Amino acid sequence: MCTYTTEFAEITGSGKGKDGWFALNTATVYYDHPVHAQAAHTLNIDFGDGRPGNRVAVELTAASARELMAAIDRALSSVPADLLT
């Protein structure tokens, strides 16, 4: 079952696409059927710059998405506060 729940985030970063590196300013996150991953449903994240077709897409199983969140939290928790800007 698809929830059709979609979350949006304004981000700052860079991504590498077919034409090289580009600035990222949006992240779209939703749980739905994947296009490529071998799973019935995945957490899908599209990182982009607002231009159609200029994006980096990720499809993760729910377990993988949770592990990624935990790894991000562990990595950021080990950084001195004055470096987190």
pLDDT band at 22 (very low <50, low <70, confident <90, very high): very high
- For β-strands 42-48 and 55-60, DSSP reports them as antiparallel
1, part of any domain = no
85, part of any domain = no
pTM score, two decimals? 0.86
50, part of any domain = yes
Quick one: average pLDDT of 54-76?
A: 96
14, part of any domain = yes
How many angstroms separate the CA atoms of 47 and 45, rounded?
6
* Helix segments in the chain, DSSP class H: 62-77
How many angstroms separate the CA atoms of 43 and 3, rounded?
11
Quick one: pLDDT at residue 1?
65
84, part of any domain = no
Which helix or strand (DSSP H or E) is residue 51 part of? Answer: none
Domains in the chain: how many in total? 1
Which helix or strand (DSSP H or E) is residue 48 part of? Answer: strand 42-48
